[in-house]
Each structure stands twice: as structure tokens, then as C-alpha cells.
Amino acid sequence: MVRNSVSVIDYRQPNSEIQEPRPTHHYKMRHDHLITTKQLSRGDIEAVLDRAAEIDAEPEAVAGTYDGTLLGLLFYEPSTRTKMSFETAMKRLGGDVVDMGAVESSSVSKGESLADTVRVIAGYTDALVLRHPREGAATMASEFVDVPLLNAGDGAGHHPTQTLLDLYTIRENAGLDDLTIGIMGDLKYGRTVHSLAYALTNFETTQHFISPPSLQLPREVVYDLHQQGTSIKEHDTLESVLETLDVLYVTRIQEERFPDKDEYRKVAGQYQIDAETLADAREGLTIMHPLPRVDEIAPDVDELSQATYFEQAHNGIPVRMALLDLLLGDSNE
Ligand code: NCD
């Protein structure tokens, strides 16, 4: 069955017999796909974050509720956090995972197409998580499966589940409205950046983009953000904006995406922060990074109260549990 990769969440009409406030677990997502954050409304995002907060507060309430549910993991690119936190989330909910494993040890190495692989694995599982080096791969794959497909990164494109945990972390530490955020590093190839920038257009934010000129946001993303009426500014140094920021989101230069390694060498090692660089930052600054870091955040920053990247990574568990619960909920009634 061919499905469309359109809007993910279908809120049920309010039931008049349900007393306000309505618990968020009465929301259900349709069995559909999560490909980019462009498809998410503010209501969609809040439903996931609210459910994640409930799960974070009382994880035992959902433990074991998805006994027998299987999540298929297809990672065509390296991953530590995304893959392991999806696995942890599914298992904490009582389900299990089946993992394609390394590309070299799968039939991909025999030349099997992505379409054929996902079609088969979709038949084994209740939902799929796909990471692939090609932009657009998740959209294409979603057209061949009839279980929800979650994009865990498609090349330099999007990484929507990372964004949901980023938003959860921002909401906990700085709030999502009246927010001034600086997003720094590889804005050209960084899929976490693209997904976050689009998602933030649902909130009252000012977005500052800090990068070398060669790694600026793709022009089409800038265009879209303007179209959404979001206030954005581009900079080539952090100093000019640091003092104004509530959140500083640092990213790794995506070496693997550079067609020309000389170009990578020209920018590698630029845009690093250490405790001294941050001397003028607000005390309440929230410093984030999707991880893995290479050298863009010096270890002395870890000691600062503003360092939030490990907490951010931990938030991947309740957020992915919430997402799976909202996507798979119908089948558990
Ligand atoms: C990011 C990714 O894969 O895009 N990692 C992650 O999922 N936490 C960021 C990166 O690799 O730099």
C-alpha cells in the first residue's frame, strides 16, 4: 500500500464527556510518517512535548504497554544516540526492535534498493526508523510502506526527532516563546539545524545564524523562514550576538558531507567555544549541541552551569517514547 508522507497528527475531536484539562494521552497520531519538521504545527509539537513530560515524570505508567510491538531500525549511516535512544524508548515501552545492522553485513551490499529493503522490513514490524545519507530518502521510502516511518536523518536534509528533543530541552530551560537563539557551525549541511529552524517558526523566536560564509544556511531555507515571518539574522562571528542569546545551539562541521575535503580543511577548527569565549554570555544561557562533538565545544565548557548538551541527549528517551506512543497508540486500544 502506498501512503503519503503528509501531516502526522490527527487530533481527535474533543469529547464533551472528558473533563478539562484533557490529558495529552487522549491525543493520537494517525499511522503516518514523520519526515520533516515542516509538517508539524505548534499543536503537534506541544502534544509530543507534553506527553514526553508526562512520561518523564512517571515512566512506570507506560512501562510494558507496548508488549509485542516491534520497531525496525534501518541505519545506513553511523549513529549512537539516535539509534540507541529509539531502541531504549521502544524497550522501555515494553516493545522490541529488529535492527538491519551495518550496511556492509546486510543485503544492501548485494545491491538491494532502499525501496525493496523498506518494503520487506515494514512487513516484519509496526514502525520503521530510517537514517540514510541521501537527502529525500525518507520521503521516497515512506511511499513504499504502510507502517509509520520516522526519518532519523536524510543526508543534509532533516532530522525531525532530534528537533523534538531539542525543543523539549529548550522549553524546559528557556521557554519556547520570546526566545532568542543562536545556531552556530555547519548551517549548510547540518540537518539538525534545518529541522530546528523550521520547527521554531511555530513560536515567537529570533534566530541568529552564525557560520563561516561558505557554510551559511541554504538560501531556500532562508527564503522559507522569511516567508513564515520569522525574524532571522546571519553573522560570521559569535561575539556580536552572544550577550543577547537565551540559547546557543552549536553544531559539528559535517565533514562527511563535503564533496571537496580541502573545503572542509579550510573551515575545520573555526567556530569553537570555550569557557573564555563565553565570559560575556548571560548566566541563564542554555548551551546545546546535538552531539557528537569534535572540537567545537572545549571540555572546560562542560563544567559551566549553562552546559545542557548531556541533558539534551538524555531527553531523547522520553521524547522518543512519547512519539512512539502517539504514533502507535491506536493499535493498543
Ligand atoms: C546529528 C546527526 O546525525 O545529524 N547527530 C545526532 O543525531 N544526534 C548531528 C551530527 O552528526 O553532527
pLDDT (tens digit per residue) in 90-126:
999 999 999 999 998 888 888 899 999 999 999 999 9
pLDDT tens track for 130-142: 999 999 999 999 9
CB of residue 191 inside a 6 A radius of ligand 1: yes
**Whether residue 4 has pLDDT greater than 60:** no
Cell 509538517 locates to 39
pLDDT of residue 330: 58
Distance CA 312, CA 30 (A): 27
What is the pLDDT, as a whole number, of residue 133?
97
Q: Are 184 and 213 in contact (CB under 8 A)?
A: no
Q: Do 247 and 184 meet the contact criterion of CB atoms below 8 Å apart?
A: no
Query: Model-level pTM?
Result: 0.90
DSSP assignments along 78-97, one per residue = --SHHHHHHHHHHHHTT-EE
Distance 1 CA to ligand 1 centre (A): 31
Ligand 1 pocket residue status of 162, Cβ below 6 Å: yes
Q: Among 76, 159, 187, which is best to mutate for testing ligand 1, by the most ligand atoms less than 8 A from CB? A: 159
For residue 107, what pLDDT is reported?
A: 87
d(C-alpha 16, C-alpha 64), whole Å: 30
112 or 27: which carries more pLDDT confidence? 112
Q: How far is CA 302 from CA 172, 244, 283, 310, 312, in A?
A: 19, 21, 14, 9, 13
Query: Does residue 316's CB lie within 6 angstroms of at least one atom of ligand 1?
Result: no
Cα angle: 128, vertex 328, 49; to 5 degrees: 95
In short, whether 312's Cβ falls inside 6 Å of ligand 1 is no
Nearest atom of ligand 1 to the alpha carbon of 152: 7
Work out the average pLDDT over 291-311: 97
Buried b (16+ CB within 10 A) or exposed e, 271-283: bbbeeebbeebee
pLDDT at 255 over 50: yes
Residue 147 CA to ligand 1 center (angstroms) comes to: 25
For ligand 1, whether the C-beta of 320 sits within 6 Å is no
**What are the angstrom distances between the C-alpha of 151 and each of 60, 137, 228, 306?**
27, 9, 23, 30
Distance CA 28, CA 333 (A): 11
Pocket test for ligand 1, best of 73, 82, 249, 251 (most atoms within 8 A of CB): 82
Partners of residue 290 on adjacent β-strands: none
d(CA 102, CA 249): 30
Percent of residues, the chain, with pLDDT higher than 90: 86
135 CA from centroid of ligand 1 (Å)? 14
Peptide bond into 21 cis (omega under 30): yes
Q: Which atom of ligand 1 is nearest to the CA of 131?
A: 3
- At residue 105, the pLDDT reads 86
- Do you know the residue count of the chain? 333
The residues with which 154 forms a beta bridge, in sequence order, are 132
Is it the case that residue 22 has pLDDT exceeding 60?
no
Q: Strands 127-132, 149-154: parallel, antiparallel or unpaired by DSSP?
A: parallel
